[in-house]
């Protein structure tokens, strides 16, 4: 007869969300950036915040172990990091390359 394996205790909703803090941090930055653009109309500030949030996601994915990074880990580390950092830096470069309108 086999012995039953013990399952880890179920996480509550608060613990489940707190366990995904890297993704929550990036998504909060994106939401704040979109709110700045939508509410104030300052597109350059909002897009800079958006690029910074996505770049932060790339840095977190690069530096954190797979066990702690949570749902930021979609593919392997190299692909996730290259895509997030490339997108974030690309957004920042395009934002600041646009000439100011007068």
* pLDDT tens by residue, 36-65: 999 999 999 999 999 999 999 999 999 999
98: nearest Cα among 47, 33, 50: 47
Residue labelled with tokens 């996730």 = 80
* pLDDT tens by residue, 3-28: 667 766 667 777 777 788 999 999 99
pTM: 0.82
Q: Is 42 in contact with 69 (CB distance < 8 Å)?
A: no
In this predicted structure, the answer to whether residue 79 has a pLDDT above a threshold of 80 is yes
Residue 43: CA count within 13 A, CB half-sphere? 8
Give the model's pLDDT for residue 15: 75
């Amino acid at each position: 007869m086999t012995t039953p394996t013990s399952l880890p205790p179920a996480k509550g909703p608060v613990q489940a969300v707190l366990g995904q803090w890297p993704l929550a941090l990036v998504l909060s930055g994106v939401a704040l950036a979109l709110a700045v653009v939508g509410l104030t109309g300052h597109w350059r500030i909002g897009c800079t915040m958006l690029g910074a949030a996505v770049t932060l996601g790339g840095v977190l994915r690069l530096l954190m172990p797979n066990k702690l990074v949570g749902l930021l880990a979609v593919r392997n580390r190299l692909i996730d990091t290259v895509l997030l950092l490339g997108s974030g830096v690309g957004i920042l470069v395009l934002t600041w390359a646009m000439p100011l309108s007068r």
